Chain A
């Protein structure tokens, strides 16, 4: 069986593209002035993250990332924006104060980035001697045997979260 020509280079190019999508999405989500652009940046970041999950040998989680984050979370946040219309106007804060606080937050973020990346790159990780099967079938078996308790409890958490969200949103409505 002959290998596709330049396969590793093409894979590296796709990997770099997904890295760029993730990083630019995160930058848009963190830096944009308008909140709706921030949500679009979050969706972009999650699409790039799904690609990275694919490179990490788990296509199942890549699909779930797109389904849950892009399909559910981002759309729900867009609905919240439409209902609560946050207009992020720059008022009550002078230009110099914005500059000072922005650079302070940037400094904290940069410190976290440098510290975390240095920590995780410098640590001598040990590679495992033997590896088990990580396919979708193995995940399904693990969810229904080893993690069955956690699986049931998280379904309960989701049910309570939905009911709680309905109750909280309704109380606000009756009060006005």
Chain B
């Protein structure tokens, strides 16, 4: 059994950093490609997740005090929850006014 390579896999920051970059890329793709507001919201959540994973990786491997990154990621989660609440209420208000939540049709102010 190759113990060294197994330890290298999850005991090294590389895999976590690549996964965080991948999550960020997926979020960017979804944000560009989605046609509805809720789809864009989901892509934004993916970007939040990428930021949290990056913070946690650097916190675990390179920070002298590991509580800092964990506290910061907790705050990120709280802000993401607040953002979801506000954004979904805006989406529902838009749906009541326009009968659609496609981002192309929401194109006028003070409807």
Residues in A lying within 8 Å of B, measured CB to CB: 6, 8-9, 11-12, 15-16, 19, 22-23, 26-27, 29-30, 35, 38-39, 42, 45-46, 49, 52-53, 55-58, 60-61, 64-65, 68-69, 72-73, 76-77, 79-81, 83-84, 86, 88, 92, 101-102, 104-106, 108-110, 112-113, 116-117, 120-121, 125-134, 138-139, 142-143, 147, 150, 154, 157-158, 161-162, 164-166, 168-169, 171-173, 175-176
Contacts and interface: CB of A to CB of B under 8 A. Distances in A.
Q: 4 closest Cβ contacts across the A-B interface?
A: A134-B66, A172-B93, A113-B25, A161-B82
Contact of B25 (A6, A64, A112, A169): A112
Nearest to B8: A12
A56 B78 contact: no
A39 B40 CA distance: 11
Given A29-B46, A38-B39, A12 B10 contact: yes
Contact of A73 (B30, B59, B81): B81
A8 B79 CA distance: 36
B93 A171 contact: yes
A56 B64 contact: no
A138 B67 contact: yes
Contacts of A164: 86, 89
17 contacts: A8-B3, A23-B19, A30-B30, A42-B45, A52-B16, A52-B19, A68-B77, A79-B88, A83-B92, A101-B33, A104-B32, A113-B25, A121-B18, A128-B62, A132-B65, A164-B89, A168-B93
A22 to B, nearest CB: 6
A143 B70 CA distance: 10
Interface of B: 1, 3, 6-7, 9-10, 13-30, 32-33, 35-39, 41-43, 45-46, 49, 52-54, 56-68, 70-71, 73-75, 77-86, 88-97, 101-102, 104
B23 A157 contact: no
A58 B56 contact: yes
B16 A56 contact: yes
Contact of A165 (B14, B79, B89): B89
Contact of A27 (B17, B26, B96): B26
B64 A131 contact: yes
A168 B90 contact: yes
B80 to A, nearest CB: 7
A166 B93 CA distance: 11
Given A29-B26, A57-B60, A158-B81, 18 more contacts: A15-B15, A19-B19, A26-B22, A26-B26, A29-B30, A29-B42, A42-B42, A52-B16, A76-B85, A81-B38, A84-B95, A108-B29, A109-B28, A120-B17, A154-B75, A154-B78, A172-B93, A173-B96
